Chains A and B, each alone.
Chain A
């Protein structure tokens, strides 16, 4: 210690109250706070996204779980469904039940005349409206000849209309006294009040707006080319509109591009085609009972906000449905068809059972192959395989396989299972084989990781009392790794359940009506069904798509629940 300069200098003793120290602590606190709030914000954002998606799906999908029916008294006429009187099930099965439904509907909504109108009336029913009655007759042929109360399935558009998804309906009681000119056909309604003045004003305003719009368009066209043909036609149109609006008490015509105006009077419904302040002309959609004068409050003006041309349900259908609803004949029931039927071109007859069964069959094949193969491969690689270049290569390949795009597995399935082995197309067996290949690496990796997580002391203990290597693995390491393997497997299965791309190549993205009965029947899978429905133009399939997503998520939730249950069960044993 003679050479003091050579002694390394120790740092100055820390003083906690020094300015520098206080600032340092503050800085640290600030950065901790920042980190915390960033983490919280990230979590919040994720939660918002997840909740938004879920709520959106639920909001869209929930209506698909119910379906509107008409509940009518239907006479089961023997002359229609069993003219020979044999009660032979084959004949009964193929009989025309829809005819009975047609008649029952005509009784419930009397006074619809004309071929087109009748056709439109029947159009509110699903083509499968007679199925319920058919099933009942087949179950109990003795009801032939009696009158039974049966639910009639409504068409998808009627169902959506009744769920209020097509147009808002407002009904304003009238203030004046009205007299209709006839009970059916062309009817003029004259009111002592000015019931239609507001609507006329709206229409006049619309015309003024339209004129302004046309004029600005005309200026643009004329600056470009004063002689253009369009300019002339625009001028003509403007002139016609101006001439029309200059007449003070003119009647305004309504068309299908405007909200529909109707008058409910004397038990009937008149669709208006032209209105002036206190009178209106139109055709009867539902016939009136009389031409009696209607007192104020006894009749009303009905508006369907959405123009007829913009909705699937026309005014006639809407009027019929509203009447049936008012008569208490419409019932909104749980949609059992959705859970008991395969796919269909008619939205109201389409169900997910086919794809659900397809998915389940596929997953059975997948787990039956992937789990034993995956676990055995993992055990071998982890415990028994010699460490050499070859096993190294296999390991690297397994890890890389987990990252191979799933469509590649589909191509492989197409080339190997379909083309080479000649297995049937669209079969759950092939789907399961392909998905097993897909999830095999996941399971192997998970199994190896969870085996590695078992403390080596357990294996040593087993070896120490004279267990063979294999016994040590199968008696101790593997059971301890089971929860982890299980989790990995469930994750793999969930992955497989949601996979669509490989199914594309082996023909499982297909329109299949029948519920598959075995592993080689044509089938589709839940995600494929979702994709198919999401592609269809009918509005009802939008709800079905969301509902199918809910079912898929439900199945996933169920699988996770199962995994948790199995895990706790396994853990309790030790």
Chain B
């Protein structure tokens, strides 16, 4: 995989990605998990998860609270490494590369796998610096103009450009909640990842901001492999093409979203989507 190709500036790559043809079917699996188990100390939080997540598109993780959705999501960019008691077994690959391979640099992995958190968490820096931080530390911009291009492109992609173009030097924390979350998405996009993980990105937002973020996710799905954890089944139905249902640490079933919502094969899924468990 050559996402961090050096002969192309990041801005040009962003441009190229935008006009790249979108193929929704027949793509090979991007993220593959085999027999993934996660333990928090003694607690067995995730039990033998197997899943293939396709490239280009939105996959939603749904399930009752505490069933391990976030835990699995954080396995994909190895964010769980920061929790000292957390232990992961099994195998996860992105583009056939084992991400738990000791020779793999976790920092580079996280540059390829962006993350958007539940609570908007912009840096207490300017809007520009928020977006520019990733490209800066990865050396993606050769010059200030390059950097400005990347920031502009990312903010445009995140649908925030028109709202903030006159105040790029204002603090990112001064934006509204919805704008902050889109800023976080822009920040994740700016390093041009393959995969974007979103952990309940709308749970702290009002309905209008939620709608904007959902539209944005829909626009982005042509270029990225997006995995979104959500509590809202409506949201899952609206934005995702595939849905995975988790229950008590196991992945119960995974499939096209319409199928999961209309004809789930497992009674537990049936119970959950009809609101009998939750």
A contact residues vs B (CB 8 Å cutoff): 387, 455, 457-458, 460-468, 471, 475-476, 480, 573-574
Contacts and interface: CB of A to CB of B under 8 A. Distances in A.
Contacts of A573: 125
B180 to A, nearest CB: 11
Nearest to B124: A574
Contacts of A462: 123, 133
Contact of A464 (B77, B138, B171): B77
A466 B4 CA distance: 13
A387 B110 contact: no
Given A464-B116, A466-B111, 18 more contacts: A457-B117, A457-B119, A458-B121, A460-B117, A461-B117, A461-B123, A463-B82, A464-B77, A464-B110, A464-B115, A464-B188, A465-B110, A465-B114, A465-B137, A465-B187, A471-B137, A574-B124, A574-B125
B10 to A, nearest CB: 13
Contacts of A464: 77, 79, 110, 114-117, 188
Nearest to B84: A387
Nearest to A468: B107
B226 interface: no
A463 B77 CA distance: 10
Interface centre among A458, A462, A463, A464, by most chain B C-beta atoms within 10 angstroms, is A464
Contact of B188 (A387, A465, A480): A465
Contacts of B134: 465-467
Closest 10 CB pairs of A and B: A466-B111, A465-B134, A457-B121, A464-B115, A574-B124, A466-B110, A461-B121, A468-B107, A466-B107, A574-B125
Nearest to A461: B121
B205 interface: no
B115 A458 contact: no
A475 B129 CA distance: 12
B63 interface: no
Nearest to B109: A466
Contacts of B77: 464
B191 interface: yes
B83 to A, nearest CB: 11
B260 interface: no
B122 interface: yes
What's the interface size class on B, roughly? Answer: 20 to 34
Interface in B98-144: 107-111, 114-117, 119, 121-125, 133-134, 137-138
Contacts of A461: 117, 121-123, 184, 187
A466 B137 contact: yes
Given A387-B84, A461-B184, A475-B133, A466 B191 contact: yes
B271 to A, nearest CB: 30
Contacts of A476: 123
Contacts of B108: 466
A128 B68 CA distance: 85
A458 B180 CA distance: 13
B138 A466 contact: yes
18 contacts: A457-B117, A458-B124, A460-B79, A461-B117, A461-B122, A461-B123, A461-B187, A463-B79, A463-B110, A464-B77, A464-B79, A465-B137, A465-B191, A466-B137, A466-B191, A475-B133, A480-B124, A574-B123
A466 B134 CA distance: 7
A457 B119 CA distance: 8
A506 B228 CA distance: 65
A238 B172 CA distance: 96
B84 A467 contact: no
A463 B191 CA distance: 13
Interface string B76-97: 0101001010000000000000
Contacts of B124: 458, 480, 574
Contacts of A460: 79, 82, 117, 121
Contacts of A468: 107
A277 to B, nearest CB: 90
A452 B134 CA distance: 24
Contacts of B191: 465-466
